[in-house]
Every structure is written in C-alpha cells, then in structure tokens.
Amino acid sequence: MPMAADEISDEVKPSTARRRKVLIGTGVLLCLLMAGFAVMRVRAGSSSARGANDVAAGTVYAAVAPVKRETIANSLSIAGQFIPYQNVELHAKVAGYIKNIYVDIGDHVHTGEVLAVLEIPELVAQVNEAQAEVHHAEEEIQRAQSEVLRAEADNVALHANAVRLVNTDKARPGLIAQQELDDATAKDRASQARVDAAKSALAAAKQQLAVAQADQEHYAALSNYAKILAPYDGVVTWRFADTGSLVQAGTSNTSGLPVVTVAQINVLRLRIPVPESLAAKVRIGDSTDVHVQATGEHFTGKVTRFTDALDPSTRTMQVEIDVPNPDYHLQPGMYADVTLLANSRSDVLTIPITAVLRSQNKTSVLVVDPQDRVEARQVELGVESPNRAEILSGLNEGERVIVGNLGSYQAGEVVRPKRAIFTTAENVSGTE
C-alpha cells in the first residue's frame, strides 16, 4: 500500500538529522585532533628551548686572571723599633768635682758645646809643675850651650899652643924640653874631652826638655778633660750628676757613673729582625714600606746596613734603615710596621698567588684555553710575594689562569671565564 507523502517526509527528516550530527561530530573531532597536534608542536618547541637553556645554565663560571709581566719581590711584614743613630754616655776622664753643669734632660746640644766643667785642684798643680820643669830644662840647655862654647874656646887655645910647641921642636930639636911638650899635648887632649863632655851635657839637657814638654802636654791634656764636650749634635737623654758631685775617672777599672747621656736623633736607625728564611736575600738598597704606629705617618725607605750574621738565640739578622728626623718628631723607642721587599725582580711573568695549586712535590695551575676548556698545567715558580708568584716556566704571557676555588674544576671541563677583579691586597673581590 503506497505511503502518503506526509509519512515519507517524516521518515526522511530523521535520517538527514543523523547525517548532520555525524558530520558535525567528525568536524569537531578533526578540529580537536588539529588542536592537539598544534599543542604538541608548541610543547615540543618549548621543551627544546628549555633544554637549550638548561645546557647554557649548566656551564660553570670561572674567575680568571691573565699572566702578565710585573716587578715582584719577597715580602716580609715585621715590627721594627727606632733607636738613636748614635748614643753615648759621657764620662769624666779624670776624677773631680762638678764645678758647673749646663744641661739637663731634653736639652738640644751641638758639636763641641761645653756640657759640664770639673774642678780638679791637684791637676792644676801638676800642670804648673810640668810648666816649671819645661822652663828649668830650657835654662839647663842654655847653660850647657855656654859650657860647650867655653870648652871649645879653651880647646882652641890649648890645641894651638900644643901644635906650636910641636912644630918648634921639629924645627929646632932640643930647644923645648920634652916635659913641656908632653904637658901641652895633655892639656890639648883634656880640653877636647871637656868639649865632648859639654856637648853631651847639652844633649842631655835637650832630652830633659823633651821629657818636661811631654809631661806638660800630658797634664795639659788631662786638664782639657775637665771640660765635658758634646761629641755631636743631639739631645741629652739623661743626666747623672749635679753641681758639686764627685765623679770618678771613666776607666775600665772603675764603675763610676757617667755625667750625661747624649743621643743623636736627627737621624734614627729603624732596626728590624729578619728571619733566617729571608736573611740571605736581603741586599743594601732593598725597598721598605714603613708605617709608624704612634704618629700614623707612612713613608718608604731603603735598607742601609745589616749584620750579615744571625743571632744564635733568635735565628734572625738585624737590618737597619736610616730615617731622617730633622724636626725630632720621631723618638727613639717608637715602633713601626715595616714591609721589606727583598730579592726584587723586574719584568718577569707573574700570576696571582691564589692561582697556584700545590700537591706533594708538584706545583700546577688551571689554564683556560681559547675554547674555554680547563687545562691542568705544571709550572715552576720563582720569587713569591704575599699576592703574586713569579713563573719561571710553564706559562706564556697573556694566558688565562683560574684564581680561587681550584678544587671545583676538572681538566677538560668547559667553563664560562669571567675576568677577576682584585682588591689592593690581591684578593678576588668579583668578576666582570
């Protein structure tokens, strides 16, 4: 039985609707698949970028410093003490009483200035006696000279008479008695002996004059010691006697006190004890850096002298630095912090001391090559200061070495080098 048109239309409508729903569902599914694919690509790209960043982030930074040429020296920081350039206790050469003393502690004196005068009455008497002996000897010389002249005159007359008689006897034999000839000859010889004796007496008188003059000079010299003079420009650091004090002669056999002590302080000696390890490297003219604790001043100096021998009790060598002190603002006894630079070497390859790696008997450094790869290299060191070390072999100028934290790096490792920034003490303070 044929269906009616309305019935056919009602059956077709549900079928079309189902197809539409299928198509819509398929489209939605395709959209979802495409969206998922896009998300996966985005995620894959993001994951790749993160991986690259992770690789970059995993590279270790390394502080490096270049190998460069500098002047280097062994350095020693030690405390030193200022002492006077000269310091002497002035004794009296002869015993006596202090007649006048013109100085006291703290007085500035000049070379040749009279510091004190002694009163020595017995020495004055000895000086007068020596002068009298000189005058007596001079008178004896004059008398002896007169005796020589008289003896020579007598000798001339007697000798002439003896010669005349001898000549007459030869011309007219028998005219003059032999006894008369003998007497004339004897008198001639006696007069000659008196001349010789007078000359000897004259020589003895001259010798006595020399003795008297020596005694006079001796007592005059002792008399000069009655004045105590300043041996150099300086300052009186101590006074041991007052007016009227009895002072003993300053000889090695007496224990008498000095009169005053005078120190030369317009130039001071800065004395430092250098240990045995550095003593052999100290040279005249080595540079020093001085910081005076009491005044706060800072200046440079040079090694002036050293003992060139070690003190057995301390195993140190005494080194001195001359420090000008024209205004006397530095005083003996003050302490100073001294940095001594010994065994100085110029224009040598150096690296920071923090780049040195020591193990057993080997010394090495970590070098960063042009490909930023770490290389362990053995080196030979020379002079070492607190901050830098001299390179004798193993490195070239301009190469980069890692400074600090050396145990964190391995040979062959790739690093990101950053140049280290050093403070004045050569400690790494940062990178750039």
- The phi-psi region of residue 347 (left if phi > 0; otherwise alpha if psi is between -120 and 50; otherwise beta) is left
pTM strictly above 0.75: no
pLDDT at 165: 78
pLDDT at 166: 78
Separation in Å, CA 358 to CA 108, 224, 349, 379: 58, 71, 19, 10
pLDDT at 401: 92
Residue 410 DSSP SS3:
coil
Alpha-carbon gap, residue 392 to 396, rounded angstroms: 10
| 394, amino acid identity | G
What the block records as the tokens of 244 is 């009227």
CATH class of 62-71+346-431: mainly beta
Alpha-carbon gap, residue 92 to 95, rounded angstroms: 7
Domain 77-86+264-345: CATH superfamily, name plus number:
Efflux pump adaptor protein, beta barrel domain (2.40.30.170)
What is Dmax (Cα atoms) for the chain?
Answer: 239
Alpha-carbon gap, residue 230 to 88, rounded angstroms: 10
**DSSP conformation class of 59:** S
Question: What angle in degrees, to the nearest 10, is found between the helix axes of 178-224 and 121-171?
Answer: 160
pLDDT at 347: 87
pLDDT at 368: 92
On whether the CB atoms of residues 138 and 285 are closer than 8 A, the answer is: no
What the block records as the tokens of 346 is 């110029």
pLDDT at 400: 93
pLDDT at 2: 45
How far out from the chain centre does Cα 398 lie?
A: 36
Averaged pLDDT, groups of 10, the chain, 432 residues long = 43 52 59 55 44 51 91 86 95 89 95 93 83 88 87 84 79 78 82 87 89 88 87 94 87 72 96 90 90 92 93 93 94 94 84 88 91 91 84 91 88 89 59 58
Residue 311 DSSP SS3:
strand
What the block records as the tokens of 211 is 């003795």
- Neighbouring-strand partners of residue 378: 364
For 225-279, the DSSP string reads TTEEE-SSSEEEEEE---TT-EE-B--TT--PPPSEEEEEEEEEEEEEEEEHHHH
pLDDT at 21: 57
Q: Which of 333, 305, 285 is nearest to 73 (CA)?
A: 285
Alpha-carbon gap, residue 418 to 22, rounded angstroms: 65
